[in-house]
Structure 1
Amino acid sequence: MTRRWSTAADVRTPVRRRWDDGTLLRCYAAGEPFPVIDVPLRRPRASEIGDDLGAVQDWAAALAAGSKGGAYYHVTYEEVGGRVIGRNELPGRAVVRSYGQAWALLGVTTEVRQLDQILALLAQEPVLRHWVGANPLKALQFGASWDRLMQAYRWLLAARGSGRYLREVDAPGVDTKFIERHRSVLAHLLEVPSTSAGFVTALGLRTKPELVRLRMDPTLGLAGEFSEAVLRVEEAAQAQVSVRSAMIVENEISYLSVPVPDDGVVIWGKGFEVDRAGALPWLRQTQVHYWGDLDTHGFAILDRLRAWLPQTRSVLMDRQTLLEHRDRWGREPSPTSARLDRLTQPEAGLYADLVSDTFAERVRLEQERIDWAWVNAHLPCVAPQRRAGTVDDPR
């Protein structure tokens, strides 16, 4: 019977709820008056008093004891009863009237003291203090790191737009590992994206340079007498060079194996990093061929490259090549079914067949599995470009 009556734990529940959602700490950090928490108590009915007065008295005593003499909450009493059992004063409500009572009831005095220390530390940093006040529970998760977070924030703010590398940070106790580990909160404080690249770029710091690897005809003079080079994309883009043809190859070993065309280059596309090749302005008026895996992602990369270089023609990514190598098919781990608007009609038809599993489930022919004699017979820099079935014209 007594289990239906409120206990000290029932008083604690709504207070805990307001702690967990941050309401109490936000009000506290803002210096606002305590939002009084008035908890109605489920108490014995008049008939239950007469049935077991001792149990009722024990219940009332337990609630009073749970208040710790008013340190946790105040109990207000109401009269219950009538002519039959007489008038009795029983607990009617439990009221938490102060922050001190709430902290004692929940046992969070240590956490609140830590928040006080954080707010004092950040007294001269209004942006940081405001964030802590709005997100006190998150702020507590960083604990003793706030001194270094403040130093990192100040350095990043001062370095904003400087073009410096993040590695150059010299704030007390702060290194790049610390910034990476706390990038999410620092991004909130600085109002920039929290992704690794977005964080650095939005702050105007220098990003790790993008590189492009290529083999070239030495007569181009692109890298002196060297036959292969790894160049910064922004520097390669500024080169004054006249390239007659280019082959972009997804797989590294295939990239190393194909012959370099006369007055041309072979570029390692490296999957979706093909954007780096696409960004080279001296390829815009050049004959470009792309050789990728024969799977859905291979066509997605081709479609992406054509956004940069619409004249790009695919090679060894045709239906005949696929069907001639049935014994070398694999399974694509995570096929895409994205809409690809830059494929030619033959490419789009084959892509649709791969998406719909026309030939088999998740068919994939990796380019390094294609018979090399077949490659030699169909590469445009080896065989005549007009040979039947070798090139799909994107026009």
Structure 2
Amino acid sequence: MGGGAVKVKASGWTTLADVRARLRRRWENGQYLAAWARGEPFETVEVVLRGPAAGELANRFDEARAWSREWLAAAGRSADFRVPTRTVGGRSIGTNEIPARFVVDGGWDTLWRFLQVTAEVRRFTELRDITAGEGHILSAAGVVEASAMERREVAAPDPHEGTVPGFRGTPATGPGDGSAAVTALVDWVNTHPARVLQHSPEQWARILATTRWLVRERGMGRYLRQVPVPGVDTKFIEAHRALLAELLDLLLPDGAVDQAVPRAQFARRYGFRSQPVYTRFRSLDPTSNRLPGVGELSVRVEDLAAAAPDVGTVFVLENEITYLAFPDVPDAAAVFGGGYGLSGLAAHLWFAGRRVLYWGDLDTHGFAILDRLRAEIPGAKSFLMDRATLLAHTDQWVREPSPTRSSLARLTPDEDELYQDLVSHAYGNAVRLEQERVGFQHLEAVLARLHP
């Protein structure tokens, strides 16, 4: 296309900035670097250019010519990409060659130059070297069992091309003897390059040194506060908890990780001591109180059996004021529940063989907590969570903010029928009767029938 250059912004036609932005997104999500790190051969990168159609040439000829010239000039200035053309036009304006595709086919280094990420690739290589070195320390110290790595699949060897420094060895393991820890760590780094590049070499070295200490000291009765790595404290571990958890799951055998505990409970999951969990309880029978004159105790959960009274009935209560004001009941104690956090407490052996009565808010989540409680105490009964109590307090109903619709398999038929009515809004939109809104006289009357 001949004529003078015209600087225009051709709306809807692909620009070099558009192509660079598209390929940068692939870089940022790790797609290109992961392929390079795993030793995969370079595949030609090609982007189809959206340019003027034949029908647009007549009306926008100057814009089309400027757009075409800009592309061809950019390709002429760069050795990193080519711009093949295609023929468009017809009888009215004749045929013209316009840019059709953007092509990078010169290898990984060419792509890095175009994306302006060569320095980042070099930094990734440095981070991977640090990782391999840490893997050798773990293996030499015998910290990581080979069996922990047997299920990890390692990429097949394939030499890197280009001038960016790479490992001399295999892309999957880097330098060294192919030990289990080196293989596992470097393979993880190769698969997650974007996450690794979020850290400086100094920070990454601290993360790996912390991982080594966690692997070595698990199950030794340590607190995370005792980590001896320079520059690392509990705040550092908390800030990098998700990454550390992933590395520990990678390195440790399944038996060394408590899979029943989520990663969010980091210390418990990996065998470290955590801040103790306390529970509050009151003896509702003065004659059974192990410490006469003491109305309430808060003890570590593991100490519950030693401190709590030996009673036949336990009321688990969700509202603190209701718990504190609960009237005396012969041969009974009250435990402050704590909502969904109750499940860990309910597993305590102290509850075994006792009649457990749960009283929570009369709403969908109250029934969900009851259902969860029965997973650990199958014989637990609900208390004041019935239709009669709900209908006796219509003037005290409030709206439940976010009702649940979960399937609750452990409810009794009567409980499930009421739960379904709450879920389906049979009595109004998201009806809720909070525990503290139940009349005290109603509570006392039910207790009198329970303990005549």
TM range (shorter): 0.7 to 0.9
1:96 CA displacement: 3.3
Deviation at 1:256, TM superposition (A): 0.3
1:363 aligned residue: 431
Alpha-carbon separation, structure 1, partners of 2:264 and 2:83: 57
How far the C-alpha of 1:21 sits from its partner, in A, is 4.9
The residue type equivalent to 1:199 in the other structure is: F
Give me the whole-angstrom Cα distance separating, in 1, the residues matched to 2:206 and 2:190: 18
- Measure, in 2, the Cα distance between the counterparts of 1:356 and 1:34: 57
Q: Which amino acid aligns with 1:344?
A: T
- Cα distance in structure 1, aligned partners of 2:228 and 2:186: 23
8 Å CA contact 1:37–1:95 kept in 2: the answer is yes
User: What are the ranges of 5 or more consecutive residues in structure 1 without an aligned counterpart?
Assistant: 46-53, 79-88, 388-395
Q: CA deviation at 1:154?
A: 1.6
The within-5 A match list for 1:288-327 is 288-327=356-395
* Greater mean alpha carbon deviation, residues 319-328 or residues 24-33: 24-33
User: Is the 2:315–2:357 Cα contact (8 Å) retained in structure 1?
Assistant: yes
- Cα deviation, residue 65, structure 1: 4.5
5 Å-filtered alignment, 1:125-274, equals 125=135, 126=182, 127-144=184-201, 145-191=203-249, 195-216=262-283, 217=285, 219-220=287-288, 222=290, 226-237=294-305, 242-274=310-342
SS, match of residue 427 in structure 2:
coil
Q: Select 2:348's aligned residue among 280, 292, 302.
A: 280
Deviation at 1:68, TM superposition (A): 6.5
What's the offset of the Cα at 1:363? 1.2
Q: Please tell me whether the aligned partners of residues 8 and 67 of structure 1 are also in contact (alpha carbons under 8 angstroms).
A: no
**Matched residue of 1:305: which SS?**
helix
Cα separation, 2, equivalents of 1:142 and 1:62: 38
Compute the displacement of 1:229 (Å). 0.9
Q: How does 1:36-75 map to 2 (within 5 A)?
A: 36-37=44-45, 65-67=73-75, 71-73=79-81
In structure 1, C-alpha distance between the alignment counterparts of 2:426 and 2:412, rounded to whole Å: 19
What is the 5 A alignment of 1:81-160? 94-124=103-133, 125=135, 126=182, 127-144=184-201, 145-160=203-218
Aligned residue number for residue 27 of structure 2: 19
The secondary structure found in structure 2 opposite 1:204 is coil
Structure possessing the higher radius of gyration over alpha carbons: 1
Report the 3-state secondary structure (helix = DSSP H, G, I; strand = E; otherwise coil) of the residue aligned with 2:450. Answer: coil
TM-score between the two structures when normalised by the length of structure 2: 0.68
Please say if residues 225 and 234 of structure 2, whose CA atoms lie closer than 8 Å, have aligned partners that are also in contact: yes
Q: Deviations over 1:209-247 (max 9, x none)?
A: 332210124544545753311122222146696312222
Separation in 2, partners of 1:64, 1:270: 69
Distance (Å, rounded) in 1 between the aligned partners of 2:375 and 2:366? 15
CA separation in 2, counterparts of 1:311 and 1:44? Answer: 75
CA contact (8 A) 2:75 2:83 kept: yes
Pairwise CA RMSD: 4.1
The residue type paired with residue 34 of structure 2 is R
How many residue pairs were aligned? 374
**Alignment partner of 1:377 is 2:386:** no
Deviation string 1:280-337 (CA, Å, 9 cap, x unpaired) is 3333322332222222222222233333334433332222222222111111112223
Q: Secondary structure at the match of 2:197?
A: helix
Q: Does the 8 A contact of 2:321 with 2:436 survive in 1?
A: yes
Structure 2 unaligned runs (5+)? 3-9, 54-61, 87-96, 136-181, 250-256
Whether the aligned pair in 1 keeps the contact of 2:363 and 2:432 (CA below 8 Å) is yes
Task: Spell out, residue by residue over 1:52-96, the C-alpha distance to the aligned partner (whole angstroms, 9 max, x if none).
Answer: xx9999888755642465542367899xxxxxxxxxx99998543
